[in-house]
Structures are given as C-alpha cells and as structure tokens.
Chain A
Amino acid sequence: MRSVNRTRIIIWTATAIIFWLCSVWPAAADGPVKLNYRLKWLFNTSVAGDIMAVEAGFFERSGLDVTVKEGGPEKNAIKELELGYADFGVASADQVIRALDKGADVVVLAQLFQINPMQWIYRADQHRIEMPEDLRGRHIGVTFGGNDETIMNTLLAMGELTKADVRMSSVRFDFSPFLKRKVEIWPVYRNSQGVILETKLAREGEKVLFLNPAEFGVSFVANSVVTSGKTVKSHPGRVKAFLKALMAAWEYAMDPANEPMVLAEIAKKDKGTEDLIRMKQLDATRELVKPSPRLKIGTIDTDAWRQTETIMLEEKQIKKPVLVHTRLYGFPAE
C-alpha cells in the first residue's frame, strides 16, 4: 500500500514538472533575448542614449531584453565581458588598448564620443591657452595614472615642454583646489563636471574656458561600445540588432526636438542634479557625441584610434603595438 502511494507521488510530481517545463520553455525560447549592458559610469546625462534605449523601448522593439547596468570607478566592462557578466559594455579607448595588450578578446562596435569629454577648465581671467606652449609655468591638475595624465603629457610634448616646465598636482574628487585658485587648470569631463563648475562659477560672476586637447591635434578616443570577439562571431545578428537599437536611441536622445522627454527620463535616474544643469549637460553631450548633423552617431574615427595607440605606446602604457584598427568592427546601422 505504502509503495503504491509512493509511486503515485512520483508520477504526479514528474507530471507537474513536465507541465511546468512545457509552460516555461517555449516562453524562454521565443521571448526576447536577455542581455546585460555595462556602462562606464553612473546614470547621468552623458549616458542619455543608453537610458533612452531602454526607457523609450528601442531595445524592446528589437526583440532584446537589455539590462543596462551603471558603471563606476571599480567597474570594468571589458573584464565583465570576459567573465560573462555582461554581453556588451562601454569602455574608454585606453581600456580597450590595454586589454588588447594583455590578450583580451575585445572588439569596438561604435564610438560614442567623437570629441573626448576629458578636458581642462580654467578661468577666463587667466592667460588664454591658444597653443600647448602656453602651458609653460602653469599649475595643472592631473589624475596621476589616469587618461588625463597621458593626454597632458602628450600636449606638453607637442609644446616641447617637460614636466619641469609646469607644476603638476594630483587631483582628487573635490574641486576646492581649483575653486580656491590653488590649481589653475583642472581636469573635468566637459559634459558633466565641466558644466557644474561652469555654472557654479558663473553664479559667482566668474567666466571659464576649456582646454580641449583635440583642438591641438590630440585625438585621444573616449567611450565606445564594446563586446567580445566571440560574441561577434557566435551571435552576429544579435550584435547587429543591439547596435542598431542603441544607435537609434542615441540619435533620438541627441535630437533637440526630443529634449523634454529625454530630460524627463534622465531626471528619474539622476535625481541629485538640478534641472538647469541637466539641460546644459545634455547640450554639452550633444556637441561631443554629434558634433555635426551629418555625422552618424557611433562613427568610428580610425585615425583617432591609431593616434590613441601611438600615444599609449610613446607613454609606455602598453608594451607593443596592438593594431587596434583591426579590432574596430563598427557594424553598419542598416
């Protein structure tokens, strides 16, 4: 009697599991593809396109279920691609080149910023920097070990200056040395911190200028969309769909006609920033991402990538050439 009961329980349990699998499996197979997309930094205006890709349904319409994850100082999209925590990510050019130097299988799908947002802010009442030589004798802030140090070293070399010709100070997370005029030229992300400082100082009646290395011919590439070479080979359709949706979202986000909707979505994610600042940040981001109306967002500037690699080689950031141009896939949007 007891063994009959046990047999019944087993049969019922097995039947229940089969029914459950039947109900769940087709949904999993036919449903949207689940993907993880790791950003380089926190949610703010500089990732407007990434936010809109989800919030305005661009990914969903492409049959993709994408979880956009915030980045941060300790987050590294390329490492997450390799560890399988992310399918796509945003990484700076120096990260990509360093990763290639150490044997990582990473490819670049799109270049988000056509102009590097890493620039230097200085007060307009100080001697204007019109050529790299004008940096002589100035007190400059740099993040030692960071991108900005590499870019500044390149600028100094262009001006035939050495570190002895300027005074360099290590920057930290607060701007007080710049605000107190202890450091003259301070590194900022033009479209985020740059806007905040510019607005803050304008309220005090001070005008600022920005030192954009690209104006002196230093095109050091910034954030780009990356994935692994393995993903490109094994899921080319998925990569194309992702990129198409993402670039469409960025075009939408950078279109001034959509500004109110875009700002409203950013405000939901970035609650600590004033409305006015967010608006200015969006304007600044637009100039960096789509500097001319004809230029398609995501266009890869191969020459700038080559220059970035050359700079890193000269600065001994990498040991050997990595031929980064061979890793620039840049899938066509159509």
Chain B
Amino acid sequence: MLFRRIYQFLIVYAAGVSGLMGIKYGVGLSDYVIPGPELILETAGRVLTTYFFDCINTLSVTILGQLISIFMAFSVGILGRKSTWVGSFIKVMAYNIQAYPIVALAPIIFILLGDGFLSRLLIASMICYFPLLLSVLGIMASPVEDIEHFYKATGRMRWQLEVKIRAFENLSKLTTVIAGSATLAMAGTIVAEFIAADAGIGYSIRIALYQSDLAGILTALFMIGIIISVYQGLLETAGEQVKTKWSAPKGGTLI
C-alpha cells in the first residue's frame, strides 16, 4: 500500500514535470518562466534538506489537526446522527461553513490568534473537519436495518451498539474518508502557513514565490507529495489492519 502510494505519486509528479518541460522547450521559454532540469536539480540540491524539515514541521501540525478533526467529527456526527432538528442543523451549518473560502476567514483567525502554531492548527482542523463531519454524519445517520432490526425487536438496542454497528458496517468508507482527510489537513496547514505563518513548507513556498523561484516551488511540491504519500500509505495500512482485526472473530481467522 505504502510503496504503491509513493510510486503512484512519482508517476504523477514525473508526468507533471515532463508536461512543463514540453511547454518550456516547445515554446522556448526561459528558466525564469519554467526552470530547466539543470536548475531544478541544482535548486533541489540546495533546498531539499531544509524543505524536508519544513514538511515534517507541517506534517506535525497536520497530524494534530487531523486528530482533532476526527475526534470532533465523530463526536458531533454521533450526536447529530438522529434525523432530528439538531442533526439537520449540524449538516446545514457544516455545508455553510465549508462554503466559506478559508482565505476569507484566515485574517480573522490570524488577528485573534496571531501567526503562530494555533492559527495553523485551527485552519488545518477547519479544512479537514467539515468534509469529515459530513461523511461521518452520512454514515452514522444511515441505519443498517438488517442488523439493527434484531436488536430493536429484542429491546437490546443502545446508542453505543447502534454506533458500533454502523461504524463496523461502513468500516471501509470510514478508513477511506480518514485517509483522504489527511490531504485536506495538509492542504489546510500549507494554506495557513502560506498566508501568514513563519514556519512550515507553506511559508517556504511563499518565500520561493516572492522570488519567482519556480524550481524551489517544484522541489517543495515534490517533498509535500512524498511526505503526504507516506502518511496516507501508513494511514491506509493502519486502516486495513483495523478492518482485519475487527472482521476476524475472536480466536479465529477471517474467512
């Protein structure tokens, strides 16, 4: 899973860079507009280590932001799973807040919290949280009639059991959504850093952009791609293991 993620990213990245090179040499553009392979390699050699640690810095905020989002999304999703007024209110609110571009909200966040760690964390969580919440709400609000009917009929249904049944029956969807939300959390952190932080890969991209350094930006994109591929690959592997563990009966093996 992990290696597949990485080589898939490498294929996409190589295709993107090849496309750029095709345009560069096809149209005859200078290194200022699109850097040549030599300049990209030279820049990468210079900044790769710095960008690696910047990415790790960004990833640490991403992971924390994602954990907060998952916790919040499951809490709210479970609370709002019933087709009650609260459930529909949460859904509408989530859709509405999701519609706001984060760049419009970011100034308010930065004025209130400054441009440090908290702002990055909040923006990462916000970008990651709402899509996650909508997925969790959708899953938790869909009854698994075949199974739930039995417990309801025998009077043994409790909310914890209901949540467990729905989570178990939608385990694939949930793990996919959680793994997918990693990219959102990473994107959120990078956006926050790009707008007004003083650390992380988004901040480095902003500096490269100020200096019209596309080679630097391409290097940063490469590093982000690799790091996020590894992280997502690990999440997917963990998800597979959880599924296997949950699906296998105690003391037995999965058929």
Report which A residues bind B (CB closer than 8 A). 73-74, 76, 78-79, 82-83, 95, 98-99, 101-105, 143-146, 169-170, 172-174, 176, 317
Contacts and interface: CB of A to CB of B under 8 A. Distances in A.
Interface in B5-31: 27, 29-31
Contact of A170 (B107, B115, B208): B115
Contacts of A146: 210
A102 B198 CA distance: 28
Interface of B: 27, 29-33, 35, 39, 107, 110-111, 115, 195-196, 198, 203, 206-212
B33 A172 contact: no
28 contacts: A74-B209, A78-B32, A83-B27, A99-B32, A99-B212, A101-B32, A102-B30, A102-B31, A102-B32, A102-B39, A103-B30, A103-B32, A104-B30, A104-B32, A105-B30, A143-B210, A144-B198, A144-B203, A144-B207, A145-B207, A145-B208, A170-B203, A172-B115, A173-B107, A173-B195, A173-B196, A174-B110, A176-B111
B33 A98 contact: no
Closest 5 CB pairs of A and B: A145-B207, A172-B196, A102-B32, A102-B31, A104-B32
A103 B212 contact: no
Given A98-B211, A145-B207, 10 more contacts: A79-B212, A82-B33, A95-B212, A99-B32, A99-B212, A104-B33, A143-B210, A145-B211, A173-B107, A176-B111
A146 B195 CA distance: 14
B111 A83 contact: no
**How would you classify the secondary structure of chain B's contact residues: helix, strand, loop or mixed?**
helix
Contacts of A98: 32, 211-212
Contacts of A169: 198
Contacts of A101: 32
**How would you classify the secondary structure of chain A's contact residues: helix, strand, loop or mixed?**
loop
A76 B206 CA distance: 15
Contacts of B111: 174, 176
Contact of A79 (B33, B208, B211): B33
Contacts of B30: 82, 99, 102-105
A174 B113 CA distance: 13
A176 B119 CA distance: 15
A144 B39 CA distance: 22
A103 B195 contact: no
Contacts of A105: 30
A105 B115 CA distance: 39
A135 B209 CA distance: 28
B254 to A, nearest CB: 52
A82 B208 contact: no
A172 B110 contact: yes
A130 B30 CA distance: 43
Contacts of B35: 102
A99 B198 CA distance: 27
Nearest to B35: A102
Which interface residue of B31, B32, B35, B115 has the most chain A CB atoms within 10 A? Answer: B32
A173 B203 CA distance: 14
A78 B208 CA distance: 16
Nearest to B31: A102
B33 A83 contact: yes
A169 B116 CA distance: 12
Contacts of A76: 212
Contacts of B29: 82-83
Contacts of B203: 144, 170
A309 to B, nearest CB: 15
Nearest to A169: B198
A174 B115 CA distance: 11
Nearest to B215: A102
Nearest to A79: B33
